[in-house]
Structure 1
């Protein structure tokens, strides 16, 4: 019997006429309805004609999570007074509760994508409702793009509804071809906000869209669980009703639950995607005792937890991130968006006035991002790229997406797909890729299942892939083989889901074994089989022990925890890893011990043998190296390295250690300084002899000596000055003027040939005894540049510096004369130096 009293109480009923009109007129609509208005339950029933207000239609409702899909179907069945599987059913991965009379089917967005790939027309479906589209999950964005294509090209009559409590309504309306926006105004009760920040500021987690971080509590202040638990106790003492507490992940939920374990007369429930079905059901029905429900973001939307009057919000959420540099995908703790905070707070006002305790300050609230980060911008795009390729748009350039996929992320995704044989060189999906897309697995895991089954057996391959497809409980440990045995023994909810997934995958694996004409798995020990499956899934993460850590073939270093069962293994295959904040290396969360044979087999595409010649330890190093990616397997000296490789190594040495490797006579150094002076003041055609310029013109001035050299000692025999002579402007004829324009020495009035110091190309220096310059009225110049004259005492010590000799004779000489003639009486000190005879001798010698 239909529960009309409950249906009539849902505020979204008032918006149904406008929604029907929008769908009748445009075929698409954006429904914006606050939490608790009935958009997830009443709207699909009405669109399906199950309430007698519309023609009979078949409606598919897509939810982002399995727990939400089950809960929505059960709630709708209850409103109709039926069992799930009659008029309303659901399908999630590994579970289908649908009957012949089913008119409303609730599915996860992943299931919807699989259906679209199998049947692009969605035959028999009249309306698709994309619920909670504000969360911007990648599957939901992809499904919306595919559905728009179906409507535009194949089935104009297919009706589409994008529904959410808080969303970018205008963006979705544009995406759906100018769809009308229908708003339902809820009768939500007032929710008081209480700011409850910790006494000391917590380290800030990543902002939405920030850098990759750790899973299992990345960026979470260790003191946060204690603070949240204290706020929950405060809320229990100050307010009536059940408490719904939002935390970022399973680990934080478990820690807060432990801190609340001594509460009397209060039931503490833990709700997340891995929670047992019995616990999920218990949360969705009124309790006999007062309850504290600790939940992840799964409780933000689609789930109504009865009895809740109080929300405690940690202000944190988990979002996927991909670190392309390290090849790691992980979950990162970020500040929850303002949209998420509104959703969470709204849970307190579903049934009566309520209160939300926010574990951050009001000042921080203003800095929160408006919406969650779209997964397409920050997550691993491998599965998305395969979906797009199967859809016939490998670049995803023609898909109707709110945000285009980042170019770097798509390039990385296509690289992975090519490596597993899912796409060809043009990015088009292969037959193998089409099979992988239908498995409902990440392409990496699909590849491991298909390729490992003939080698290790269908059962083992299915078991390991099922274990890798959903994060295992932390207590299972980081050794994949041990975790597999724990799953087999386990009686928890995870183990039950794991066994169901094994059954699903076993059939696919069995087909792969039969295609290879054997039973598979003969003679391979179980731990080796586990490692082979993991290595086939993540070949670039095969790693060898190296100096206390492991070096992956991708080049990333990783560490295992103290006490890990993986310590001491010579090789491992890393299945799950993250990047600790501030850590030097990645951290292994789940891996399997393998041997070198398995490593070579799994990562064979990365196996190379080549001659490597480079500059190292101050000389040319030539060797033949066998590598598995970044890991050196074998090294042998190379006696006959190619001349080109040797030359490149010598050039590398010159760049790293400088041209001091060559033989620089004093004369050669002076030649370089003279050329630098002419370049500075005259420019072309005089050459630039800076290090960068000389490196750029090595072939012009250092050949053929460089090509004949084989090692450092050969470089040391090359006369740099002679080689530099090749850069002189011979073609223009200016080279003949080199000694004229930048002479090494000039003749001073005394007749001496004095060397010019060109070490400062801006102003060369002439250091000469003062008496030798008598009679010279103007400063000497080279290439039109006056020399800076250092006038020396008879003992060769600096007495004066001038660039204007005439001015010095007139204004400065008298003081110098007064100081020096008493010290050097045997030398001439004329009154008028500008007209005196220059000399290199003393007065006595002059007299003779």
Structure 2
């Protein structure tokens, strides 16, 4: 029996007429409705016609960003209809499908909908799609929205599309859907008081997955304070499962208060308990899943740690993982609003009020920060390898897309020339796995059996709990024994993956793999067998992270170094395949979180595209080192000295030495240094065709000035014999006779009125300096100019010390000379100090010498 009284109370009901009108007129709409208004539960039932006996039944798909939210939404809608899940309302998440022949509303995760679109672009039989919580900007949701826009434009203009958001940031989505109307539903919210509760002492900022234990202790203390100061249930937001477990442990037993943990890994029974009002008071420790996707009844208090987890990719080290960041102001507002859903409430924010204004407005869209390998494969299968024609709120970063295409090309998923998906790529895209894991499943199954391969891949598709350890083989055995929620999900995923590859099929050949005979016999259970399977799967999934022990750490074939914990069973392995790693604060090496033992044969097989053998000449330790090297990426497998290296290799190594250690490796005498300074001066003030003689400029034109000396050099000592001054003269603009003006524009010496030829100092390229005795400049009123710039004249005393500095001699003789004369004539009476220096005879001699 339909619970009409509850449905009538949902605030979103007032927006339904406008939503119907928008869909009738435009076929698409953006629905903005705060959490708790019923947008997730009432709107799909209305779209499907399940609340109107006279309306024709329509099939509606609702896409949620998380599995826990999809199940909860389906259960809530079924309950409102007075039915069980699987009748007119069902759900599908990865590895679990609860639908029936009468199902009209199906709640799915965005990942499931993405797979469905790839199999059936027309979504045959579906009348409307509702994308829920689009403001969270998950990558799968953005991708699904883009694909659905394509479907509506090219194949099914009658398909209705609703983008539902819990925030008012809806204009971008409206434009994306072709100018669709924005329909707003007013929420019923109660006032929420804000209590600023920063830690009593400074805590370290989050880094990677690390959160300062002092902050978690403070959060636990704040929960206890909130329980004492207010009534009602407490909803506490923490960044991840580990932090939830630690705070739960610090809370311990709270008497008549239940402590519940809700996150994507929580057992279904716990999730159900959280979503139902209880007889006892509760503290619910939750990740961001409770921000907008779930309604937790009874909550009057929110404690917010102020942290969130976002994906990040370290392309330089080949590492991708979640990282802990400060939550955005939008997330903070969503979390605080949970306290005012049913009555006035309070939020305790575990940071300082002044800090709040420095937070980002919105969380970073995943497409801007996440690993884009899976996204790139999806768009390649869809038919647009560059993603340039897709309706996306944010374009994918070019560097991340290039890195993704490189991975896909290496595993044979896309054609390197066209960028389009291969047959193998299409199969990988339909596995519901990251392409790396899909490659491992397809390529390992023929060697170790579908079931064994699926077990290891399932372990990598959802990272196992930390207590399983860092040894992937050991974690595999722990999952097989495990009676916890993770073990149950793992077994379910193993069944799903096994079914995808157990059917007879031709062996999938990856790039660089040798053709093998029939699949090896599947081995039975056993530690050694588990270790071999885990190692093969991890190496196939992450070939660039295969690593060999080297100097106390492990060197990955990508060039990244990694450390393994002292107590690890992996510590003394010669080779490992690293599945999960991060980089601790201030550490130069990565830290292995999950890896498996492999041997060199597996390493070579998995990373075959990185295998090479050849002569190498490098600049190392200040000298040339010539070797013949067999390597797997950065890992050297075999090295032999090379007696006679190719001249081209030697030349490149010498150039590398010059780049690293500088052009000082050449022979620079005083004249060469002066020539370079003169050239730099003319280039600065005249420009082309005078050459740029900076380090960068000289490296860029090395062929023009260091040949043929460089081609005949064979070692560091040979560089020291090259006369840099003679080589630099090759850069003078001899064509057209322009070089003949060099001594005019930047002469090495200037003749002064006394007849002396004084060296000009060009060490400052902005203005040349002429240091000359003051008496030798008598009679010269106009300051010399070089390349249009007045010379900075250092007028020296008879002892050679600066008496005055000027770039305007006429002004000096007029205004400054008398003071200098008064100061120095008593100290140097043997030298001339005329009253009128402009009319005096210049001289380099004393008065006595002049009288002779």
Q: Report the TM-score, using the length of structure 2 for normalisation.
A: 0.86
Judged with a 3 Å threshold, the aligned counterparts in structure 2 of structure 1 residues 822 and 561 are, in CA distance, closer, same or farther, namely same
Give CA-to-partner distance per residue, 1:432-455, whole Å, 9 cap, x none: 010001000000100011111122
CA distance in 2, matches of 1:519, 1:196: 61
Give CA-to-partner distance per residue, 1:516-553, whole Å, 9 cap, x none: 77343568843132112101101111122233322222
Give CA-to-partner distance per residue, 1:288-342, whole Å, 9 cap, x none: 3211111111122232222222222222221112222222211122222333233
Aligned pairs for 1:575-654 within 5 A: 575-654=579-658
Judged with a 3 Å threshold, the aligned counterparts in structure 2 of structure 1 residues 289 and 661 are, in CA distance, closer, same or farther, namely closer
Question: Is contact 2:217-2:247 (8 Å) kept?
Answer: yes
Q: 1:229 aligns with which of 193, 212, 220?
A: 220
Q: 1:566 aligns with which of 570, 573, 585?
A: 570
Q: How many residues align?
A: 817
Judged with a 3 Å threshold, the aligned counterparts in structure 2 of structure 1 residues 766 and 358 are, in CA distance, closer, same or farther, namely closer
Question: Is contact 1:246-1:297 (8 Å) kept?
Answer: yes
1:337 matched residue in structure 2: 328
Tell which deviates more after alignment, 700-709 or 373-382: 700-709
Aligned pairs for 1:809-848 within 5 A: none
Tell which deviates more after alignment, 724-733 or 158-167: 724-733
Judged with a 3 Å threshold, the aligned counterparts in structure 2 of structure 1 residues 800 and 234 are, in CA distance, closer, same or farther, namely closer
Judged with a 3 Å threshold, the aligned counterparts in structure 2 of structure 1 residues 143 and 757 are, in CA distance, closer, same or farther, namely same
Q: 2:484 aligns with which of 492, 495, 498?
A: 492
- Secondary structure of 1:34's partner? coil
CA distance in 2, matches of 1:182, 1:570: 61
Q: Do residues 72 (structure 1) and 63 (structure 2) align? A: no
CA distance in 2, matches of 1:379, 1:614: 36
Tell which deviates more after alignment, 691-700 or 438-447: 691-700
- Secondary structure of 1:287's partner? coil
Judged with a 3 Å threshold, the aligned counterparts in structure 2 of structure 1 residues 570 and 11 are, in CA distance, closer, same or farther, namely same
Unaligned ranges ≥5, structure 1: 206-212, 824-831
C-alpha deviation, 1:416, in angstroms: 1.2
2:196 matched residue in structure 1: 195
1:63 matched residue in structure 2: 64
2:37 matched residue in structure 1: 37
Q: 1:479 aligns with which of 451, 465, 471?
A: 471
- Secondary structure of 1:245's partner? strand
Q: 2:283 aligns with which of 292, 301, 323?
A: 292
Question: Is contact 1:133-1:167 (8 Å) kept?
Answer: no
Question: Is contact 1:551-1:558 (8 Å) kept?
Answer: yes
Judged with a 3 Å threshold, the aligned counterparts in structure 2 of structure 1 residues 708 and 123 are, in CA distance, closer, same or farther, namely same
Question: Is contact 1:799-1:816 (8 Å) kept?
Answer: no
Aligned pairs for 1:514-529 within 5 A: 515=507, 518-520=518-520, 525-529=529-533
- Secondary structure of 1:20's partner? helix
Unaligned ranges ≥5, structure 2: 509-516, 832-838
- Secondary structure of 2:333's partner? helix
Question: Is contact 2:754-2:842 (8 Å) kept?
Answer: no
C-alpha deviation, 1:607, in angstroms: 1.4
Q: Do residues 460 (structure 1) and 452 (structure 2) align? A: yes
Tell which deviates more after alignment, 676-685 or 705-714: 676-685
1:10 matched residue in structure 2: 10
Tell which deviates more after alignment, 193-202 or 40-49: 193-202
Judged with a 3 Å threshold, the aligned counterparts in structure 2 of structure 1 residues 818 and 555 are, in CA distance, closer, same or farther, namely same
C-alpha deviation, 1:593, in angstroms: 1.9
CA distance in 1, matches of 2:19, 2:830: 111
Give CA-to-partner distance per residue, 1:673-696, whole Å, 9 cap, x none: 888899899999987776666555
1:209 matched residue in structure 2: none
1:385 matched residue in structure 2: 376
CA distance in 1, matches of 2:678, 2:196: 74
1:424 matched residue in structure 2: 415
Tell which deviates more after alignment, 624-633 or 488-497: 624-633
Give CA-to-partner distance per residue, 1:717-743, whole Å, 9 cap, x none: 445565566567766678899999999
CA distance in 1, matches of 2:34, 2:748: 88
C-alpha deviation, 1:177, in angstroms: 2.0
Q: Do residues 267 (structure 1) and 271 (structure 2) align? A: no
CA distance in 2, matches of 1:681, 1:444: 56
Q: 2:296 aligns with which of 290, 298, 305?
A: 305
CA distance in 2, matches of 1:429, 1:624: 38
Judged with a 3 Å threshold, the aligned counterparts in structure 2 of structure 1 residues 657 and 579 are, in CA distance, closer, same or farther, namely closer
Judged with a 3 Å threshold, the aligned counterparts in structure 2 of structure 1 residues 509 and 684 are, in CA distance, closer, same or farther, namely closer
CA distance in 2, matches of 1:510, 1:160: 37
- Secondary structure of 2:502's partner? helix
RMSD between aligned alpha carbons? 4.0
CA distance in 2, matches of 1:800, 1:337: 61
Q: 1:530 aligns with which of 534, 548, 554?
A: 534
2:498 matched residue in structure 1: 506
C-alpha deviation, 1:12, in angstroms: 2.0
1:828 matched residue in structure 2: none
CA distance in 2, matches of 1:787, 1:174: 63
Judged with a 3 Å threshold, the aligned counterparts in structure 2 of structure 1 residues 685 and 503 are, in CA distance, closer, same or farther, namely closer
1:829 matched residue in structure 2: none
C-alpha deviation, 1:84, in angstroms: 1.1
Question: Is contact 1:457-1:513 (8 Å) kept?
Answer: no
Question: Is contact 2:619-2:656 (8 Å) kept?
Answer: yes
2:135 matched residue in structure 1: 134
Question: Is contact 1:243-1:310 (8 Å) kept?
Answer: yes
Give CA-to-partner distance per residue, 1:341-390, whole Å, 9 cap, x none: 33323322333333322223333333333332211111111111111111
Question: Is contact 1:33-1:163 (8 Å) kept?
Answer: yes
Aligned pairs for 1:271-420 within 5 A: 271-420=262-411
Question: Is contact 2:557-2:633 (8 Å) kept?
Answer: yes
2:162 matched residue in structure 1: 161
2:117 matched residue in structure 1: 116
2:49 matched residue in structure 1: 49
